[in-house]
Amino acid sequence: MMSYWGGGWPRYVTVAEKKAKAGRKLKQLLKKNKDIKPVIIKGYSIASTWWGKAWNQNLEKYADYHNRIGRGRSYVRNGNVLDLRICSGEIKSLVQGTRSKPYSVVIKIKGLKKDVLKKIKSACEGKLDSLQELLDGKFPEALNDIFTAKGTGLFPSPAEINFDCSCPDWADMCKHVAAALYGIGARLDEDPELFFKLRKVEIGGLIKQAVEGRARKLLNKAGEKKARRIDDSELEDVFGIEMDRDIRPVAKKKKKAKKPLKKAVKKAQKKVVKKTVRKIMKRQPGKRKRPR
């Protein structure tokens, strides 16, 4: 039971007709510019990965948005978001409305505040066990809570979001802006790294923090014991994470060869960060409830 505020349809238009209209417009636009990036929703859910869902849920959390953003749901589902590009701090979108010419939507989002980022980073410290969970195919609750905390997490609050649309319905959040906001969630499904580009944050930094505590402990301990060399299996124990098989052939390596500790720890840290970032970006929430 969708109601359409501010105007609406002159007669009942079926979803199929709406989709067809948006499809025709998209074809026209693609002829002019093959680089446009439409938001295409497959199935009923607007977003299906952790990043996309977390984005949308964040917006729905805020009372300012709660009532208005719903107007964009059917729009994005019907393919009305004909173009959406996420850049650093800004999203540009073309949204098909009732008029023939698509409306132009610009959404500006502030970068993550330095003090918020600092707090998130320190909250991540020592969450190495969570990284292991992540690598096992679950999105860890501990990180989930840190990342999605209202106002202190990674996701923007309405105060950090500004938007503008070329339609006449400028008083409130119009359908086109709402649709574009949901479109961002859908786009993050495809490429979660865009989230970090948008909020001007480096994800590696967050993961590094989680690993660093343990590395520091190890180095301190080694200082006391004068054990200055270490091999891969010991490192695996320390980080609790299986090191990547080296790409280089193992044949030439002596099995028990020990490496200088500091260098080895740094290298291992880098590996863990890289591996985890790769994994975190691919995390599908559907896999959380894997049947045993």
Give the binding site for Zn ion (CB under 5 A).
Answer: 103, 165, 167, 174, 176
105 vs 210 by CB, closer to Zn ion: 105
Give min distance, CB of 170 to Zn ion, in A: 7
Distance of closest approach, residue 53 Cβ to Zn ion, in angstroms: 25
CA proximity to 132, closest of 140, 124, 121:
140
Q: How far is CA 223 from CA 218, 229, 262, 269, in A?
A: 9, 11, 10, 18
| Cα Rg of the chain (Å, integer) | 23
Cβ distance to Zn ion smaller for residue 167 or 273: 167
Nearer to Zn ion by Cβ, of 58 and 96: the residue is 96
Nearest approach in angstroms of CB 277 to Zn ion is: 36
Estimate the share of the chain in helix, then strand, then coil, as percent rounded to the nearest 5: 55, 10, 35
For Zn ion, the closer of residues 91 and 218 by Cβ is: 91
From the number of C-beta atoms within 10 Å of its C-beta (0-12, 13-18, 19+), residue 125 rates as middle
Cβ atoms of 292 and 203 closer than 8 Å: no
Residue 81 contacts residue 179 (beta carbons within 8 Å): yes
Q: Give min distance, CB of 165 to Zn ion, in A.
A: 3
- 168 vs 260, beta carbon nearer Zn ion: 168
Sorted by sequence, the CB contacts under 8 Å of residue 290 that are 6+ apart come out as 137
| Rounded least distance, CB 81 to Zn ion, Å | 12
